[in-house]
Amino acid sequence: MAFKEKWLEPAAETYDQLREKAKTAFDNRKKNKIKKSNPSEGLFKQVDKTIKLLLDNPKHPSLKTHAYDSLAHPYNPGKEKVFEAYAQNNTPGAYRVFWCYGPGKGEITFIAITPHP
């Protein structure tokens, strides 16, 4: 089942920043005729893939999705769970995507996209 996406402002801002950094890096790389991609490009590609996998199948094994207790559910605090999915693994400061189901049926809300502390 494919889910519809909703974004809270912190997640949307981070996603947009990562996309913009990747685009700038790509443009500079092409302008300077460099073949090897920039880490910013790779990070955005990983985060974008995670978002797409979550919308298609939140239980996809590569996401390592699990409940995360330190964030409150934005729509139903105390009753519903917030989840963490891996965008990166075995990387210092690996990025994570925090999300929840809702507010409506068949929807996923992206709460935050952050590097792991």
Domain span at residue 109 reads 4-115
Q: Beta partners for 100?
A: 109
Give this prediction's pTM.
0.92
How high is the pLDDT of residue 60? Answer: 95
- C-alpha dihedral, 39 to 43 to 49 to 54, nearest 10°: 170
In the chain, the number of structural domains is: 1
Instruction: Give the tens place of pLDDT for each residue, 48-74.
Output: 999 999 999 999 999 999 999 999 999
Cα 7 to Cα 110: distance, rounded to the nearest angstrom:
5
Segments in the chain below pLDDT 70: 1, 117
How high is the pLDDT of residue 1? Answer: 63
